[in-house]
Amino acid sequence: MRVLVVLVLLLCASAAPPGAQTGPAQRTMAITIDDLPYVNTGGGEYLASAAPATERILAALRAHQARAVGFVNENKLEGDLERRAALLQRWVDAGLTLANHTYSHPDFNTRTVAEFRDEIVRGEVVTRQLMKPRAPYQLYFRHPMTHTGETVEKKEAIDRFLADRGYIVAPHTIENSDYIFNVGFVKATEQQNAALVERLRLAYLEHTLAATRFAERMSVELFGREIPQVLLIHTNAVTADRLPALLEALAGRAYRFVTLDEAMRDPAYATRDGYVGPHGPTWLFRWSKGLGRSISFAEDPDPPAWVAELYKRR
């Protein structure tokens, strides 16, 4: 009998695909994408980069039925309103939600409450118009750099203002510093340095998965279980290139992609954001403060030093 049990155990063990992860049979994640319509850091013309990148991002999301939220900076529409608003229309047509990321991406740490209120109001004009056929829908706001207020007074004043306008502040639990990877990636692509492009592709994927594993561990630490995760990425060249592979890898880690509405229905998301300060940490950190827990986030992975170096030399 014991031999049989051992045999069954061995068979079960060998049936697991190589590299399979241990953990819940099913995980969920909402995808949020910032700085729409597109962050063009390269030398090329805006639409020549933005249009194909948008299509690639939307196709990757569609392939995984990932109904993301896109956070818009409407100042990026300036000078070419019609064609750039048409890019945003593509997101709406794909069934995704557009949300407010302020008009011009200011740092709340350096603005007054009145100035920031103005940025919120100016930031919703085109977006609300495009989303009109989808009403009623949940309005989301995300502070640039997730700088939510360096003093209690500022934070509470803007939180009240947002709530009065019907907004929920969008949280995130995973952030992959893709804007750091993007600088080296765009440069290596322009210089046709295929080896460096490949190295960055691999590093991007490895880092994002490391950040994901960290968030999984922290949610168990805080809530005793894995909660729905919320990933924050940006519309840029590296995201357009890597999103198909990233979503595939996450699906391989048992992730199913859900809307932000659905992720936030988890009771964990009712936890108080207890962080007040000049930085923009994840909500796992903010919740640890709200719960009065002192948990080390020292192991939250940073991008590799060589990638950070490419970014610094920009």
Tokens of 266: 């988890």
Total residues at the site for Zn ion (CB under 5 A)?
A: 3
Query: Residue 169: how many CA atoms within 13 Å on its side-chain side?
Result: 24
Residues 6+ apart with CB under 8 A from 103: 73, 74, 75, 119, 120, 122, 123
Residue of the chain from 29, 35, 204, 238 that contacts Zn ion (CB under 5 A): 35
Q: Which is nearer to Zn ion, 35 or 226 (CB)?
A: 35
Closest residue to Zn ion: CB criterion: 34
- DSSP codes, 40-64: --SSS-HHHHHHHHHHHHHHHHHHT
Among the listed residues 107, 46, 29, 50, the one whose alpha carbon sits nearest the alpha carbon of residue 240: 50
Query: CB of residue 194 vs Zn ion: minimum separation in angstroms?
Result: 30
Burial zone of 298 (CB within 10 Å; 0-12 exposed, 13-18 middle, 19+ buried): exposed
Q: For residues 178 and 216, which CB has a smaller minimum distance to Zn ion in the complex?
A: 178
Residues 209-238 that bind Zn ion (CB under 5 A): none
Cβ proximity of 239 and 58 under 8 Å = no
**Window of 32-40, 44-52, 154-162, 256-264 that interacts with Zn ion by CB under 5 A:** 32-40
**Of 28, 34, 113, 175, which lies in the binding site for Zn ion, with binding defined by CB under 5 A?**
34
Of residues 139 and 227, the one with the C-beta less far from Zn ion: 139
Asked whether position 175 contacts Zn ion by CB under 5 A, the answer is: no
What's the closest the beta carbon of residue 34 comes to Zn ion, in angstroms? 4
Angle (CA) 174-222-31 rounded to 5° is 25
Binding mask 102-141 for Zn ion (x = CB under 5 A): ----------------------------------------
| Residues 253 and 212: beta-carbon distance below 8 Å | yes
* Cβ-based nearer residue to Zn ion, 148 or 271: 148
Positions that interact with Zn ion (CB under 5 A): 34-35, 144
